[in-house]
Structures are given as structure tokens and as C-alpha cells.
Structure 1
Amino acid sequence: MLHKLAEDISFYLITNKVIDIEDRDIYIYGLELLISTLFTSISILILGFLIRDWISAVAYLSVYFFLKSYTGGYHAKHYYECYIYSIFVFIVLIIAKNIIVPIYRPIIGLFSLIFSIIVVFKFAPVTNKNNPKTEEEILKNKKIARRRILILSIMVILGYTVKSKLIDLWLMLALTEFSIAYSILKAKFLDKST
């Protein structure tokens, strides 16, 4: 269904002379990614709204988009698997955030940040066979990923220091970093297709 929609859109763009027919396959792939990402993001925002925790949904998506494109990580074989995995991870993080005893939230948040920094510095970026990178691109992504994980982690620590009442937000940001670190490890050691 997603592929068919991307094909239809690309055909429309070709017919209206927006793109060249030679570039059709590239546009189909890009449109599939765009539609899949939009659908997943909107679903997470709706889910966040339905559970009355849209701030966590925005925090999750913000960290995810800010970091994952440079770190790489687990890639599902099909778009529907990616959708299910993304929704599942969001739900797990919401449950984790809500069941962690308040007194332990700062400690678990700090552990999540430290763990994430170590994983990103040691293993990111993870390359994927469907999106190969040159050595130059890998080095560039490594530098950007390291900078971004540090910026996010410092922001979470400073945010908690200045406004500890927002611990739910800071914890969600830290747990999302942790989930990206897990995704990196999963791709590096468990998923041999990358």
C-alpha cells in the first residue's frame, strides 16, 4: 500500500514535469520514507494525546529525529515492522517512565544518559546496507552524533537542575536517548543484516 501510494505520487510529479522519469525510483524510495515517517509520527502524537501525555510524545519524537539520523541503529526490514517497533518502543518508555518510583527517577535518568553517551561514542554511527555511507560520511555522522548526544544530555541535566518539577519530561528525554543506544547495540550485535 505504501509503495503504491509513493508510485502514484511520483507518477503525478512526472506527469506535471516536477521530476524526471529517470529519477522515479529515487523519488519512490524517498516518498516511502517520508510517508512512513509522517504516519508513525502522527500515530505517536495521537497516542500521546489519547493517554494525556502528548509532551512525552513530542519529547520522544524530538530526541529521535535530532539524534537517530546521525547515530543509525536498528532498521526493520519492512515499513510496517518499523511502525510497530516505533510505537512499541514509545509505549514501553511511557510505561517505564510511569512505573519508576519518583525517588529513583533522577538516578535512572542519569544512568540512561551516561549509558547512551558511552554507546554513541563507542559504536555510532551504525551503517545500514540499504543506506550505505562513504568513510567521509561516517566520520561526519560520528562527530555530529557525539555532539548531539552531549548537547541533549547536558540539556537534560541542566533542565533537571533548574526545574526538577519537570522530572517526567527530563526522564522521558533520557529514556529516549537510552532507547536509541539500545537500537545501536541491537543493530551492531543482534541484527546481522546491517
Structure 2
Amino acid sequence: MKYYTYGIELVLNNLLIFLSIAVISILTDNIRISFAYILTYCPIRNYVGGYHCKTYTKCYFTTLILYILMLIFDTYLFDNRLIVSCILLVITIPMILILTPVDFGYGPISDNDRKKYRKRSTVLIALALLSFIFSIVTHQPNVAFAISWGMFVVFLLMMRSLFEKLSKVR
């Protein structure tokens, strides 16, 4: 029974996050970049792993804060979006590929799962990179920024998890 409860809570939390992002994206007229962010962040995050909040409330607000930061930076970086996007990708892609997968916090990852997650995350990162290049070629720097921000957030959550692990070892 507790697994069903957990599953329902998880679905409701994810639905609430998605609906909140959808409402904010409609209200701010940022549907395209929000869609690019979600399509980059969510699939890659599923296979890369990293930090998970202890409560659904913290997860909800952390996700929304990181999303809103993307919208704010997109607005204020206007002329520098492309440069910042490239810098974010140059930093994050190699690190994600090297560190993937980071333990999800639900117990150790088997060698078989580790290989599977690494392959899938590599494919997803390649697709995100192709989407990034396509958005540059089609003169959509805000979409390119959203893609790079999604990858950057995945990287931040990986690093948070690794630092948390290191601090427990000490």
C-alpha cells in the first residue's frame, strides 16, 4: 500500500509542478522556451540522477525557483544569451557525461543499470545539443538558452548530490 501512496504522491507532485510551469509560461508568454527547458531537463534528469529534495514542498519550490531564474536570466541576458548558453554547455556537457549516473538516493545502482543510464543520458544529451544547434541556426537564442539552462540545472543537482555525499564521508 505504501508504494501506491508514494506513486500517487509523486504523480500529483509532478502534475502540480508541470501545471504551475504551464501557467507561468502562458502568463509570461514564454511557452516555447518553457517547453524547450522541460524537454531538456526532465528526460536527462531521469537518467543522470542527482540531488532529490526531502519533501514534495521543497521539490515544488526548488523546481519553480530554478525555472523562474531561467526566465529572469533569459530576459536580462538578452544580447549575451548565446555566449552564456555556450559557456553553460561547455561546462556542463563534459561533466554530466563523466559523472553520469549519480546515485539517486534510493540505494546503489547496479552495473547493468549504470550502463543503461549512461547510454540513455548520452543519447538525450546528443539530442539536446542538436536542438541547441538547430535553435541557433534558426535564430532562436532564447530557446538555445532554455536548453542550456536545463542542462545546467541537471549539472547543479548532480554536483549538489556529490557534495552532500562528500560531506557525509567526512
Q: C-alpha root-mean-square deviation of aligned residues, in Å?
A: 1.7
Q: Which moved more, 1:183-192 or 1:46-55?
A: 183-192
The one of 36, 39, 52 equivalent to 2:29 is: 52
The answer to whether structure 1 residue 174 and structure 2 residue 148 are counterparts is: yes
Hey, what's the Cα distance between the residues in 2 that align with 1:141 and 1:37? 21
Show the counterpart of 1:81: 58
Q: Secondary structure at the match of 2:123?
A: helix
Q: Secondary structure at the match of 1:181?
A: helix
- Does the CA-based 8 Å contact 2:135-2:143 persist in structure 1? no
Q: Mark the runs of 5 or more structure 1 residues left unpaired by the alignment.
A: 1-23
The one of 110, 116, 119 equivalent to 2:92 is: 116
Show the counterpart of 1:7: none
Hey, what's the Cα distance between the residues in 1 that align with 2:26 and 2:146? 15
**Per-residue deviation, 1:36:** 0.7
Show the counterpart of 1:95: 72
> Could you say if the C-alpha distance between residues 132 and 27 of structure 1 is closer, same or farther in structure 2, counting changes exceeding 3 Å?
farther
- Structure-to-structure mapping, 1:5-154, within 5 angstroms: 24-102=1-79, 104-130=80-106, 132-154=108-130
Bigger Cα Rg: 1
**Per-residue deviation, 1:131:** 5.6
Q: Percent identity?
A: 22
Hey, what's the Cα distance between the residues in 1 that align with 2:53 and 2:97? 23
Query: Relative contact order (alpha carbons < 8 A, sep ≥ 6): 1 or 2 greater?
Result: 2
Q: Secondary structure at the match of 1:129?
A: coil
Hey, what's the Cα distance between the residues in 1 that align with 2:8 and 2:110? 23
The answer to whether structure 1 residue 184 and structure 2 residue 158 are counterparts is: yes
1:63-88 Cα shifts (integer Å, max 9, x gaps):
12221100112200001000000000
TM-score normalised by the chain length of structure 1: 0.79
1:35-73 Cα shifts (integer Å, max 9, x gaps):
111111111111111222122222222112221100112
Between the two proteins, the alignment pairs up a number of residues equal to 167
- Does the CA-based 8 Å contact 2:52-2:105 persist in structure 1? no
Q: Mark the runs of 5 or more structure 2 residues left unpaired by the alignment.
A: none
Hey, what's the Cα distance between the residues in 1 that align with 2:42 and 2:67? 14
**Per-residue deviation, 1:132:** 4.5
TM-score normalised by the chain length of structure 2: 0.90
